[in-house]
Chain A
Amino acid sequence: AQKVTQAQTEISVVEKEDVTLDCVYETRDTTYYLFWYKQPPSGELVFLIRRNSFDEQNEISGRYSWNFQKSTSSFNFTITASQVVDSAVYFCALRWGGATNKLIFGTGTLLAVQP
């Protein structure tokens, strides 16, 4: 079965703190894709990153970084020096290989960055 778990329901930090959002996934497939999406208060789901199962390199994009570890089935997301504009709900999602492009989402983590 495919499953994505985001154990942190809500996180509150003060501006400039670093924060890590956890994502643990389950799949039996050897080929799969992991995603992070951001949902700001305006409502749209903004694509942040896609990582395939054969690429375990960590990625950094500005203040954002992602740590993909197949050994622990985790794909964690770290925001360095958080800002108020980072306040949003963040979703981790899994898509397994094959013709279907169906995403399985976690329940999301609400991040509140206080000034």
Chain B
Amino acid sequence: EAGVTQFPSHSVIEKGQTVTLRCDPISGHDNLYWYRRVMGKEIKFLLHFVKESKQDESGMPNNRFLAERTGGTYSTLKVQPAELEDSGVYFCASSQPLYRTRGNTIYFGEGSWLTVV
């Protein structure tokens, strides 16, 4: 079974440009999450999708960040325009429905490393 996959693995962009990160969750996982780790700090929650709906987007830092999950499959996270402080690792994760026994286990991808210069 394939794990959570993310693309691109690394991205270097200039301040003011746009970057779009993609995440493919584990097949059958309704829940999809975005997290990020900035400057060696703790990993912080950004948002949570249940299928195509945003369940919780309380962690989104500002309106330069836009997450979508059309069709309830893969998700994209767009940063526009990117700022220097957006540099970090963006993790995508997925889990089964919460009513299932293993729904509480969240599986993470390898992360997309973003550098804004």
A residues at B contact (CB < 8 Å): 4, 33, 35, 37, 42-47, 50, 52, 91, 93, 95, 99-108
Q: Which residues of A contact B93 (CB under 8 A)?
A: 45
Q: Are B42 and A103 in contact (CB under 8 A)?
A: no
Task: Tally the A-B contacts, defined by beta carbons under 8 Å.
Answer: 67
Partner of B41, one of A35, A44, A107: A107
Among B11-47, those with CB < 8 Å from A are 31, 33, 35, 41-45
Q: Are B42 and A44 in contact (CB under 8 A)?
A: no
- CB-defined interface of B46-74 with A at 8 Å, one 1/0 digit per residue? 00100000011011000000000000000
Q: Which residues of B contact A35 (CB under 8 A)?
A: 105-106
Q: Are B42 and A43 in contact (CB under 8 A)?
A: no
Q: Are B44 and A44 in contact (CB under 8 A)?
A: no
Question: Which range holds the interface residue count of chain B?
Answer: 20 to 34
Q: Which residues of A contact B42 (CB under 8 A)?
A: 4, 105-108
A94 CA / B82 CA spacing, docked (Å): 30
Q: Which residues of A contact B75 (CB under 8 A)?
A: none
| Contact (A103, B109) CB under 8 Å given A33-B104, A45-B91, A52-B104 | no
A50 CA / B102 CA spacing, docked (Å): 10
Q: Are A101 and B43 in contact (CB under 8 A)?
A: no
B residues at A contact (CB < 8 Å): 3, 9, 31, 33, 35, 41-45, 48, 55-56, 58-59, 89, 91, 93, 95, 98, 103-111, 113
Q: State the Cβ distance, B108 to closest chain A Cβ, in Å.
A: 4
| Contact (A47, B107) CB under 8 Å given A99-B98, A101-B48, A101-B95 | yes
A43 CA / B90 CA spacing, docked (Å): 11
Partner of B111, one of A43, A91, A103: A43
Q: Are A100 and B56 in contact (CB under 8 A)?
A: yes
Q: State the Cβ distance, A40 to closest chain B Cβ, in Å.
A: 10
